[in-house]
Amino acid sequence: MKFNWGTGIVLAFIGFISFIMYFIITMNVNDKYDHDLVSDDYYADELQYQNDINKLENTKDLSTNISYEKTTNGLIIKFPKGLDYKNIKGKLFLYRPSNKQLDFETAISLSNLNLLIPDKRLVDGRWNIKIDWQYNGKNYLFKESINY
């Protein structure tokens, strides 16, 4: 058989199609490449977006924002000083981008201005933290990506 331009082009197409098919099959079968959407109900979340913007604007009015610190006991969330912890209500949501099963949400229950998330609930790596809280009828929001 004589190898000419037409044969080379056909072989190049076959090689390219084979590579694409291998890539598609690998991405669909291998669990390593299985990524979920950030939210299952992202249309409803989009409608809440303007409320989140307003809460972030309220947060800018605070003298200090929420801070956090990693300790041996876990992650300590520190609310701004000068606030009465009894009037702070809300919820904390920790989202793990790489594993949906590790996500969790908890209500804010304070005995002082610090909230401890136990070390056993968190694995090392990247987390997105979202604290949606109210103080004296005003809504606030804290969002940040952290590496634990």
> Using one digit for the tens of pLDDT, what is the confidence trace for 14-48?
999 999 999 999 888 887 776 666 666 777 777 78
Which helix (H) or strand (E) covers residue 104, if one does?
A: strand 104-107
Helices H / strands E in the chain, number of each: 3, 7
User: Helices in the chain by DSSP H: which ranges?
Assistant: 5-29, 42-47, 49-60
Residue 142 belongs to domain with CATH number = 2.60.40
Give yes or no: residues 94 and 26 share one domain. no
| 48, 9: one domain | no
Domain span at 12: 1-34
Q: According to the model, what pLDDT value does residue 37 have?
A: 60
CA within 13 Å, CB half, 9: 3
Domain count within the chain: 2
Contact criterion met (CB below 8 Å) for 115 and 79: yes
Q: What's the pLDDT at 34?
A: 67
